[in-house]
Amino acid sequence: MIPAKFDYHKATSVKEAIALSQELGEEAKYMSGGHSLLPMMKLRFATPEHIIDISKIGGLSYIKEEGNLLKIGAMTTQTDLEHSDLLISSYPIFGDAVWLTADPSVRNFGTIGGNIAHGDAANDQPAVMLALRATIVAEGADGEKSIPIDEFFHGFYMTALEPGDILTEIQIPKAKKNSGGAYYKMERKVGDYATAGVAVHIELDDAGVCQEIGIGLTNVSAVPMRLDRGEEVLRGQKVTDELIEQVGQIASEDCEPESDLRGSEAYKRSIVNTITKRMINKALERARN
């Protein structure tokens, strides 16, 4: 439980961090909260030669609405998300997800940017981002770029971020009237990764017809997964119990879980079905109120 030898570098600005990364090359890893990276280093599953500590970079911790966007700074901690009045009142899906992420001491350090940039389908924020159709803003040696969430996750621990890129901001379409989201995961005990989790965000028109829907799945595939086929069933429709039933069924068919200590493949498919239905209903309830 002791990491291999590494050198520690502290960056005080995004520019400095990128420059350090350029200089140190591929054996350098950024660390913000460190709560995903450090355990891997302690087990010596990850042995970076250089750690670039970006946790002291100022100005990247904020939650604000600007124009038609909700903007969240990448260094915003999970605890900040949990206690944000704006998120509590207008984006309750964050409260659902953060409450189920790790434990309070981890949430005090863990950041939303790190949770997404780690590229782990077991993390909770990727599914939430899929449901909310987020855009990821990153800065690299060649300047700033915006990456739609559907193009962000490439594989197991692999994302669209190039070596040296730093995730700086998450942008989410501002909450519309008659919209609502919800997240739930089954976990074996507090602090555990999801056995399976489902994030749903739904937008209704005044007649109650579904204008837009996002459904993201946690830890039932190698890459954070959008339930495209399920979304298509509801988009443009008046949401009925029959349709919800159908989406649950699709979720259980389309997810790609593997049997492990958290449960069998069949079990995971079954609870994805159940949670999907329950979260659509919860999101609908929030959208209607």
Q: Which is nearer to other proteins, 22 or 105 (CB)?
A: 105
> Which member of 53, 192, 256, 265 binds other proteins (CB under 8 A)?
192
> Which member of 191, 205, 222, 253 binds other proteins (CB under 8 A)?
191
Helices marked H in 84-239: 85-90, 92-99, 104-109, 112-117, 125-132, 228-234
Using CB under 8 A, which residues numbered 4 to 63 contact other proteins?
4-5, 43-44
The reply on whether position 263 binds other proteins by CB under 8 A is yes
The reply on whether position 1 binds other proteins by CB under 8 A is yes
CA distance linking residue 160 with residue 183, whole number of Å: 25
The reply on whether position 190 binds other proteins by CB under 8 A is yes
If one counts every other C-beta atom within 10 angstroms of the C-beta of residue 82, the result is 18
If one counts every other C-beta atom within 10 angstroms of the C-beta of residue 190, the result is 9
Of the listed pieces 67-75, 137-145, 188-196, 237-245, which binds other proteins according to CB under 8 A? Answer: 188-196
Are the C-beta atoms of 239 and 212 separated by less than 8 Å? Answer: no
Strands 69-73, 158-159: parallel, antiparallel or unpaired by DSSP? unpaired
> Which member of 22, 237, 240, 264 binds other proteins (CB under 8 A)?
264
> Which member of 29, 35, 262, 282 binds other proteins (CB under 8 A)?
262
Q: Which is nearer to other proteins, 92 or 257 (CB)?
A: 257
Q: Which is nearer to other proteins, 74 or 275 (CB)?
A: 275
Degrees, nearest 5: CA angle 117-92-175: 85
Spatial CA neighbour of 150 closest among 173, 127, 168, 124 = 127
The reply on whether position 281 binds other proteins by CB under 8 A is no
The reply on whether position 202 binds other proteins by CB under 8 A is no
Q: 45: left (phi > 0), else alpha (psi -120 to 50), else beta? A: alpha
Smallest distance from the beta carbon of 141 to other proteins, in angstroms? Answer: 34
Are the C-beta atoms of 214 and 132 separated by less than 8 Å? Answer: yes
> Which member of 90, 249, 270, 281 binds other proteins (CB under 8 A)?
270
Residues in the chain: 289
How many residues bind other proteins (CB under 8 A)? The answer is: 25
Smallest distance from the beta carbon of 188 to other proteins, in angstroms? Answer: 5
The reply on whether position 182 binds other proteins by CB under 8 A is no
Helices marked H in 124-264: 125-132, 228-234, 241-254
In the chain, what is the straight-line distance between the N-terminal and C-terminal CA atoms, in Å? 49
Residues that bind other proteins (CB under 8 A): 1-2, 4-5, 43-44, 103, 186, 188-193, 195, 261-264, 266-267, 270-271, 274-275
